[in-house]
Amino acid sequence: MRSNWFCPQNPPPFRLAWSVVVCLTIGLNTCGCQKIESNRVCLVSSLPRTGVSRQVSDEVVRGIRLAIDEVKEKAGRFTLEYRDLDNSAAASGRWTSEGEAANARMAVQDPNVMAYIGTLNSGAARVSMPILNYADLLMVSPANTAVGLTKPGLGLPGEPNVYRPSGKLNYIRVVPADDLQGPLAADWAFERGVRRVFVIDDAGVYGRGVASLFADRCREQGMAVLEHVSIDPQAAEFKSFVGSVMSADPDLIYFGGSARTKGGQLARDLVSAESEAILLVSDGCRTKAFLEAAGAASLEGRCFATSAGLSPEQADCNEKLLFLRYRQKYGTCPSNAAIHGYEAARLVIRAIADVGVKDRRAIVESAFASQVDDGVLGQWGIDANGDTTLQEVSVSVVRGGEFVHEEVMSTAGIGKKNGSR
C-alpha cells in the first residue's frame, strides 16, 4: 500500500508533524473574533497597505485609531477590537479584487464584526459592497467618491442597485461624491477666467468619473473642452502625449486620477515641456507622493488640487481637540484622509453604542439616522442614498513644497477665501 499523509503506517514523527499542522490550522481559524463573544465587537478596515496608496491609508488608519482611543476602546457596553486589513498586493502595488473580496468575506463570516470601514478606492468598493450588503454589515467609506456607488442615474447602467442585492442600504460615505467635486472644480476654473481646458484621466473608475463630470460642467459653462483623453497609468512617461497637449494650447489642464496612476509623472512631463497652462488635479493627487514624483518646486503656485469636504488647514491646529490629540500622538496635523477616517470610525462607534446589541441591521439603521453636530469639518448627516450632507469642496495650491488651502467652493457658490469658514 502506498503511504500518504493519512496512512496509519506513517512513522511517529510524521504523524506528529501532521497533527501539529492540523492543530495549527484549526487554531488559526478559531482565534481572533471568530468565536461569538457577548461583550466584544470587531471593527475592521480594508485599505491598501502597500504601494503608493499606503501613505493615505496610514493616515486613515491613524484617524480610526484616534477615534477608538478617544472612547477608550469602548462602544457602549462593548469592548472594541480593531483589525487593519490589507486589500493590496505588493507586486502590483495597488488594491486587488481578490484581496478586497477576501476581506469582505472574512468580515461577513465573523459574527463579531459589526462594521467595515473602507474602501479607499471606488473600484474596490464595487467588489465588497454586494458581499457586505447580503450580510447587512455596515460599510462606511472614508474616501470613495465615484457617484455610481450611491446615486441612482448618475453612474453606470444598473448602479447603485447592483451593489444592493438585498434591496436594503448598508453603505455610507463620509466624503462628498464626485458630482460635487468635478462640477465645482469647473466652476472654480470658470471664475478664474479659464476658457480652454484639456481634460485627462487615468481610465479608472474614480479618475474617469470625476474628469467626465468636470468636462460636462465645463461645456455647460461655455468653456471649450479641447480634448478628453485617458492615459495608460502603467506608462513610464508621457513625453509624446504632452506634445499633443501643448499643441492644443489650453488655459487649464485637468487631471482626474491619483499619484498611483501617474499623476505626478504627468505633471512632471508637463512642466518639463514648459507648459504655461494651469494644472488642476483631483483629490487623489493631493498627496505627498504626487508632489515627490512631480517635483514640488516646479509646481509652485501653478498646480491646484480640489478635495471633497472642507480642508483641514482651515481649522486652527490649537483650537480643535482632534488636532491637538493627533499632533500629540503623531507629531503632525491630520490630513483630509485622517479626518475622514476619524469621522468614519466615530460614526460607527456611535451607532454600535446607540444600538447596544449585536444586531447588524439595527446598527446600519442607527448609522443612517446619524446627525453629527460636533463633526471636525462642521455639521453633517447622512442622506437617503448614504451620502454625507456636506456640500463643500476645497481648493488648494502648491506653495512651499506642499498643498496649502486656497479657497472653499460650495453648491451655494464660491466660498470665502483664505481659510475662513
Partner 1 sequence: MDVASFLQQCGIGITSGGFLGLIAVGYTLVYGTVGLIHFAHGDVVMLGGCLSLAILSFLVPVPVDPLTGCLVVVLAAACSGLFCGCLNICIDQFVYRPLRNAPPLSPLVSTIGVSFVLMNVGLIWIGPTDRAFPEIFLETTRSVGGFSIAMADLLVLVIVVPAVLCLYVLLRQTRFGRSLRSIAAITRVTARSGEAGKLVIATFFLSGFLGGVASVAAGVHATTINYQMGHQMGLYALTAAVLGGIGSVPGAIVGGLIVGLIRAISVAFLGPRWAIASVFLVLIIFLAFRPQGIFGKSKTRGGQR
Residues that bind partner 1 (CB under 8 A): 50-52, 54-55, 90-91, 93, 203, 229-232, 234-241, 243-244, 247, 259, 262, 264-265, 268-269, 272, 274, 289, 292-295
Residue number with CB closer to partner 1 (78 or 238): 238
Give the closest residue to 387 by CA, choosing from 308, 290, 280. 308
Cα 395 from Cα 238, distance rounded (Å): 26
Q: How far is CA 380 from the centre of its chain?
A: 18
State the helix-helix crossing angle for 178-191 and 205-220, rounded to 10 degrees: 40
Residue 136 zone, left/alpha/beta (φ > 0; ψ -120 to 50; rest): left
Kindly state the smallest distance separating residue 271's Cβ from partner 1, in Å: 9
Residue number with CB closer to partner 1 (162 or 229): 229
Residue number with CB closer to partner 1 (145 or 258): 258
Q: How far is CA 403 from the centre of its chain?
A: 18
Residue number with CB closer to partner 1 (204 or 375): 204
Residue whose C-alpha cell is 493590496: 88
Residue number with CB closer to partner 1 (42 or 294): 294
- Which amino acid appears at position 128 of this protein? S
- Backbone φ and ψ of 245, nearest 5°: -65, -45
Residue number with CB closer to partner 1 (262 or 405): 262
Q: Cβ-count burial of 40 within 10 angstroms (0-12 exposed, 13-18 middle, 19+ buried)?
A: middle
DSSP 253-310: EEEES-TTTTHHHHHHHHHHTT--SEEEE-GGG-SHHHHHHHTGGGGTTTEEEEEEB-
Kindly state the smallest distance separating residue 297's Cβ from partner 1, in Å: 10
Q: Cβ-count burial of 3 within 10 angstroms (0-12 exposed, 13-18 middle, 19+ buried)?
A: exposed
For the chain, helix, strand, coil in percent to 5 are 40, 20, 35
Give the closest residue to 382 by CA, choosing from 363, 367, 393. 367
Strand-pairing partners, residue 393, are: 308, 409
- Backbone φ and ψ of 417, nearest 5°: -85, 165
Kindly state the smallest distance separating residue 52's Cβ from partner 1, in Å: 5
Kindly state the smallest distance separating residue 309's Cβ from partner 1, in Å: 24
Kindly state the smallest distance separating residue 270's Cβ from partner 1, in Å: 12
Kindly state the smallest distance separating residue 298's Cβ from partner 1, in Å: 9
Residue number with CB closer to partner 1 (78 or 241): 241
